Structure 1
Amino acid sequence: MLRSTVLTLCLAAAVLPVAHAGERRAEAKPTVVLVHGAFADASSWDLVAERLRQRGLPVVAVDNPLTSLDAAAAATRRAIAQAPGQVVLVGHSWGGTVITQAGDDPKVSALVYVAAFAPDAGESSSQQLQRYQMTPGAQKLQNQGGFLSLSQEAVATDFAQDLAPEAQAQVYAHQLPLKASALAERVDRAAWKSRPSWYVVSRQDRTLSPALQRDTARRIGAELREVDAGHVSPLAAPDEVSQAIVDASAAAPAR
């Protein structure tokens, strides 16, 4: 009897650590990798990142160089490689083109587009734009030495028009120009064809056409959300944007 009891206890001790390890794996959450777009830097994700961390999701914001699609995709791939476990990849604005190119990494389980481009393979951001009426923000782009930027007035009226003046000033101060030629660079892969996607449309966007956004979301088969915000919805509507990312993280299949 004693021998049988000892044997039972030993078997239980051997099995329990395995069960706990399985529970830890089940509880592991994907890392959210955030890719900013043109005329911004990684701080444009600060309000969203704060909310995601409060929900228990690890977050990395990529410093997107905005000099070429290849350079931006390479920076994003480095962030994906360094992240533990699976990744939910999020792109805002031109960052959508970047995640379309870089998001076919085996670690990426889902894509989230926020007021963003999502070209098809062989297509560029500019080609997406050409099918829609030019927005007020696009009409005010400044080209200096081949780099595009927005004036302080354009930021206030057409880029971040729904932010308070102090926040608009911060957006302008953190602005990084986009090399104009990057818009004409074609993606050679379309990650949304092999990954579940979410899309958050900015209804009041005066920089990237809301019609382009809705059409893009339907074309890529994304789960569509809309927010009553301008182009910088990660700053103007961080609760709604972060919720879409949380939902994508919960629903994305393990890879």
Structure 2
Amino acid sequence: MCSRYLSTLALAFATGVIASAAQAAEVKNIVIVHGALADGSGWRKTTEILENRGFNVTIVQEPITSLGDDVAATNRVLDLQDSPTLLVGHSYGGMVITEAGNRPNVAGLVYVAAFEPDKGESAGSLASSKPASGTNIRETKDGKYLYLDPAAFPNDFAADLPKDEAAFMAKSQVFASKEAFSAKMADPAWKTKKSWAIVATEDRAINPDLERTMAKRAGSEVTEIKGSHAVFASQPEQVASVIEKAAQSVSQ
């Protein structure tokens, strides 16, 4: 009787382990949310590296008209994913993934030189708490949008990129509404989802010390990379490796 019971228990345990292994989804979908004063094209090199490593990468081209609009744009892309997804955000994109990351199909979050807000915080309030060294943000004539002076863009945003690449980024930047920068966070996804953070040590758009403080508060696993605010474009191999590591971690 005892022997039969133990055999049944062992079979049940083995069956449970096999079932659990079958249910564990390997995270191969990566959704990237670009930051303000940029667009998704700067992520091409990182995307190609990740795709060569077997990942399915989609980039959200959010309008940056409001935080709500940008989260909605991200959710539309998340709805297209066929399995659990790793959500990546750069700069202001960190605000977006912190809210959109509450979606059930988001397995984890990666912040790349990004804001990691807590409840009630905005991109504007965080930026002013520890100002960055770059000070060339301008307003449009209607006073509703912000942009980075194209002449200062290479130095303040992409100092470690070739001049022609930085100049193109300056020309293709997406203006950010003041409304997007003043919107307050509701429920931060990093409180329930595992997160990683890349600190760009030469960042002039977001103070690197602010990046460190936010990451520590959120309990994010931190990687410091010597690079400008455009670290995703200037150091694509290192950024891709952090994203790959995060995907592997949430797959376990």
Give the alignment's TM-score, normalised by structure 2: 0.88
Percent of aligned positions that are identical: 35
> Cα offset for 1:135?
2.5
Q: 1:207: which partner in 2? A: 205
1:140-192 CA-partner distances (Å, limit 9, x unpaired)? 10100211111222111111111111111221122110001211101111000
Q: 2:153: which partner in 1? A: 155
What is the CA–CA distance in structure 2 between the aligned matches of 1:130 and 1:150, rounded to whole Å?
16
Matched, 1:102 2:115: no
Matched, 1:39 2:64: no
1:203-233 CA-partner distances (Å, limit 9, x unpaired)? 0001110000001110100000011000011
Greater displacement, 227-236 / 173-182 = 173-182
Gapped regions of structure 1 (runs ≥ 5): 1-18
Q: Where do residues 23-172 of structure 1 align in structure 2 (5 Å cutoff)?
A: 28-136=26-134, 139-144=135-140, 145=142, 146-172=144-170
Q: Over the residues paired in the alignment, what is the CA RMSD in angstroms?
A: 1.9
> Cα offset for 1:131?
1.6
Tell me the SS of whatever aligns to 2:31.
strand
> Cα offset for 1:81?
1.0
Q: 2:220: which partner in 1? A: 222
Give yes or no for contact 1:29–1:58 (8 Å, CA) kept in 2.
Answer: no
What is the CA–CA distance in structure 1 between the aligned matches of 2:25 and 2:98, rounded to whole Å?
28
4+ runs deviating over 6 angstroms:
22-27
Give yes or no for contact 2:133–2:204 (8 Å, CA) kept in 1.
Answer: yes
Gapped regions of structure 2 (runs ≥ 5): 1-17
Number of residue pairs aligned between Structure 1 and Structure 2: 233
What is the CA–CA distance in structure 1 between the aligned matches of 2:27 and 2:91, rounded to whole Å?
25
Tell me the SS of whatever aligns to 2:116.
coil
Give yes or no for contact 2:37–2:148 (8 Å, CA) kept in 1.
Answer: yes
Structure number with larger C-alpha Rg: 1
Give yes or no for contact 1:135–1:207 (8 Å, CA) kept in 2.
Answer: yes
